[in-house]
Structure 1
């Protein structure tokens, strides 16, 4: 799908999903503002948060170093597929990094993702896990940082940034595996997401919309590339919004696994023209941010 295209992205948009946790979102945005290679824009894909998130974004926008945009949908349950699609449709970068609003990035998060990007692939990053102690320490910090030896950290191996190992692992990990798919840390060429029609918006309620996208990408000939020892981000612990590992969307995913589906019928193309006509406002230019 990306064959013959430029080897490295010229521009990158970060799409951050969020729902009613402004304290965590603030730490994510602080991390993105301190990147050694800044993104070209950040779009907060909001699945129905209340006023406190809007106020946070207006405050953060005052000093944010790149365009900061807010895509909001009404709170009608877990609709991650829809909120992400609208964030993707509003994005202008030729490469998109998707992350969750509880994932605090390492200062080289963006540069590591761009170094890993290759045509014909999507990149699956990892996450450092925290418990309540680790989460609370990071939320209280002015400049959230973490290391292998910190208390409150789980999956310590994912705290290690070793660029040489990342390059070796990236070459070895290329393939069609769609295990451990999580959109909390992923990189995609925008043209590939357009060809796949993004997330399938029939997926409502928790789960499987990310696995469905990855399966369709493999059906289309894309490879998954695992990003380890680079592209680091730490997940702030929270109680899950779902029970167990079942999902109301399991039957939809089963259909995709059985059939060589590439493009969904209810997806990204529903929103592209809307944002082409009326791009999201850069919150730095909003009167409330001044």
Structure 2
């Protein structure tokens, strides 16, 4: 049986210290993806230096997809990165989310046709950051210091079986911990690049997956990430972004006019 090829996409912007820990957690995976692509929304050279070092420390291909900093354009840089990916299956995290060592394996294990996955996010608290970066901590358990939402840190393949694929849309979906077939991403034309500024670009994609007919499965007790605390990003465009998402809901849209197809022929 052919093994599913996978691309791990890591979205980042100007936080090299956090990205460094995330990349260390890639090296710690018990199953590696076939490639890593860093989707960089305009970071400075400090981030490039971290990525170049990582390339020399790991045996799989690593690509750095970068564009000029024009504000929060995460939807655009993710489209550019995923367009360049070679894997059949996309596993997506943010550059401030340290991965459990089974993370990649869990997403590949539960990959299923006509289904997208989304996993849990354990929050690392602000007070723990000094120790986190000093100790270069990348492993946690439900009893670790400095985390909250501790039940989300429970790793249990047995308990995870309680969660099945569903035709319902879940508001628990987070783009910092999700996976899907690249063909399904292309079928809905990827992220909607009308989203500028923080908010709703991930959930709107999931809504179009849902409208397209995909099932969703929550990876509870597996596929865990640990989210490093940071100050909230500006929500100045949130009302406009809400309107875009409401249009997708009300019109049951599956396709965005400004999406990944722009880059697929490049």
Q: TM-score range by the shorter chain?
A: over 0.9
Q: How many residues align?
A: 266
Corresponding residue for 2:219? 227
2-structure distance, mates of 1:131, 1:267: 35
Q: In the TM superposition, what is the alpha-carbon distance from 1:160 to its structure 2 partner?
A: 0.5
Alignment counterpart, residue 203 of structure 1, candidates 188, 192, 195: 195
Residue aligned with 1:74, SS: coil
Alignment counterpart, residue 99 of structure 2, candidates 91, 101, 105: 105
1-structure distance, mates of 2:127, 2:60: 32
Deviations 1:56-106 (A, max 9, x none): 111221112211110001100100100110111011000000100000001
TM-score calculated relative to the size of structure 1: 0.88
Alignment counterpart, residue 9 of structure 2, candidates 7, 10, 15: 15
Corresponding residue for 1:185? 177
2-structure distance, mates of 1:75, 1:203: 15
Residue aligned with 1:183, SS: coil
1-structure distance, mates of 2:122, 2:240: 28
* 2:262 is equivalent to residue 251 of structure 1: no
Segments ≥4 residues shifted beyond 4 Å: none
Question: Pairwise mapping of residues 20-39 of structure 1 onto structure 2 (< 5 A)?
Answer: 20-39=14-33
1-structure distance, mates of 2:184, 2:130: 38
Alignment counterpart, residue 168 of structure 1, candidates 162, 166, 176: 162
Consecutive unaligned residues of structure 1, counting only runs of 5 or more, are 1-5, 275-290
Q: In the TM superposition, what is the alpha-carbon distance from 1:245 to its structure 2 partner?
A: 9.9
Contact 2:166 2:216 in 1 (8 A): yes
Residue aligned with 1:187, SS: strand
TM-score calculated relative to the size of structure 2: 0.95
Change (3 A) 1:9 1:235: farther
Corresponding residue for 1:84? 78
2-structure distance, mates of 1:174, 1:103: 26
Contact 1:78 1:206 in 2 (8 A): yes
* 2:252 is equivalent to residue 268 of structure 1: no
Q: In the TM superposition, what is the alpha-carbon distance from 1:134 to its structure 2 partner?
A: 2.8
